[in-house]
Amino acid sequence: MKGQASPPTFKVYTQRDLDRIPQLAALPEAMRFEMKVVSTVLPFRVNQYVIDELIDWRQVPADPIFQLTFPQRGMLDPEHYERIAALLRAGAEKDEIAAAADAVRHALNPHPADQMEMNMPRDEEGHRLDGIQHKYRETVLFFPSQGQTCHAYCTFCFRWAQFVGDKELRMASSEAAVLHNYLRTHPEVTDVLFTGGDPMVMKTAHLQSYIEPLLAPEFEHIRSIRIGTKALSFWPHRFVSAEDAEALVALLERVVEAGKQVALMAHYNHWKELDTEVAQAAIHRLRSTGAVIRAQGPLVAHINDDPAVWARMWQKQVELGIVPYYMFVERDTGARHYFEVPLVRAWEIYREAMQQVSGLARTARGPSMSASPGKVEIQGVTEVAGEKVIALRFIQGRNPDWVQRPFFARYDDQATWLNHLKPAFGEEKWFWEDEYAAIRQARLAAARA
């Protein structure tokens, strides 16, 4: 790869640049205004690679990558939409518009599953360790401050609150020492996940400052280093011909040679993201380091709520050496009402997609809800003792003893999240409910202290 030509210039567009995107000029003026309204509330960022290489503008607005990256009117409920639209039409002051947008954001459940209160650990003096989440025993999430943006934003992103400029909603840390000190005192942790945003927007030197110290003998208990990224889709040039691509490859090789597993947790939503020449070159180069690429993403309406899309995507991932890992359920935040799919339908899509692929592609787990008690998988619809039920199980839980234990919900073909479901067989509570309530009460009390 040395000596390869420089990559195309990374050119990005945000809300203030909507009128500068040539392809939008062909769209109706009303649609462009709707984009401006929605992007006043929800973050918008797209780059030239996505515009030129991934979107089929002949299919807009139905094109799945267009839906994935460009604001749509239905992403705000009618009341919220009209509130912002009226201010824009009236030429209101920026401060008034910003205050209204902020009020709408706070109504959109910016941090679902109690993640700010339940998942963020504290030091010995009780101070919250910003930029760290520790929900499950074996895995710590770290949010490096230099990686709290993305090459482009997904319209459904459950971490949209990271990108709207509100410091109270943001999770990040620039202190590598905070992470390393925490890991020293938690030998039960085996996996560290660098997340964001997207850590791959960082320069390699920054990434190295967080990762390389973990190769020291004192961190022998850290067996796997994961990096969550959408860069393989939104800017694959990062891995092929960026200025510090060679340094990144060398860093990953060193980590693998030191005996750590490196897992790129690649976020894919549609097979079109795998089809470009540069995307496939980036995948090949990363795999050459010894790193494993695992693919995950949510099932979302307007983008991939079709078994054929998932089957084709999983098949292509296997062909390229990627391991299909998770199908998630769209989280209960942001533009959820535009994107959510009923749980029963999500399972039907998963099942029908699985029927179309070989065993190598059946490594994808799901559909999985990342709810506050844990990752809950929808295993299917069945009948037990004459009652039609939805079978569920924990893939991960706040108490590891819950993991892999099945439980059953009354059949409900409209439910879209765990809190919409009710226990089957006349039970008043789930088997885990009292213990979870106690855990939650203790964590919230600590957060208020």
pLDDT greater than 90 at residue 417 = yes
Tell whether 54 is covered by a domain.
yes
Q: 412 with 390: CB under 8 angstroms?
A: yes
Interval 396-419 mean pLDDT: 96
Give the integer Cα–Cα distance in Å for 430 and 449.
29
pLDDT greater than 60 at residue 19 = yes
Tell whether 175 is covered by a domain.
no
Beta-carbon contacts of residue 52 (< 8 Å; ≥ 6 apart): none
What pLDDT is stored for residue 34 in this prediction?
97
What pLDDT is stored for residue 119 in this prediction?
76
Tell whether 94 is covered by a domain.
yes
Tell whether 83 is covered by a domain.
yes
What pLDDT is stored for residue 116 in this prediction?
58
What pLDDT is stored for residue 170 in this prediction?
52
Tell whether 66 is covered by a domain.
yes
Q: What is the pLDDT of residues 212-255, one digit of tens each?
A: 999 999 999 999 999 999 999 999 999 999 999 999 999 999 99
Nearest to 312 by CA among 265, 278, 275, 365: 275
Q: What is the pLDDT of residues 277-324, one digit of tens each?
A: 999 999 999 999 999 999 999 999 999 999 999 999 999 999 999 999
Predicted TM-score (pTM) of this structure: 0.92
pLDDT greater than 60 at residue 400 = yes
Tell whether 390 is covered by a domain.
no
Domain that holds residue 65: 12-106
pLDDT greater than 50 at residue 1 = no
What pLDDT is stored for residue 3 in this prediction?
44
Tell whether 48 is covered by a domain.
yes
pLDDT greater than 90 at residue 334 = no
Tell whether 401 is covered by a domain.
no
- Residue 197: is the preceding peptide bond cis (ω within 30°)? yes
Confidence of residue 173 (pLDDT cuts 50, 70, 90): low
Nearest to 33 by CA among 54, 59, 15, 52: 15
Q: What is the pLDDT of residues 97-152, one digit of tens each?
A: 999 999 999 888 776 656 556 677 877 777 778 889 999 999 999 999 898 899 99
Q: Number of folded domains in the chain?
A: 1
Phi-psi sector, 85: left (phi>0), alpha (psi -120 to 50), beta? alpha
What pLDDT is stored for residue 171 in this prediction?
52
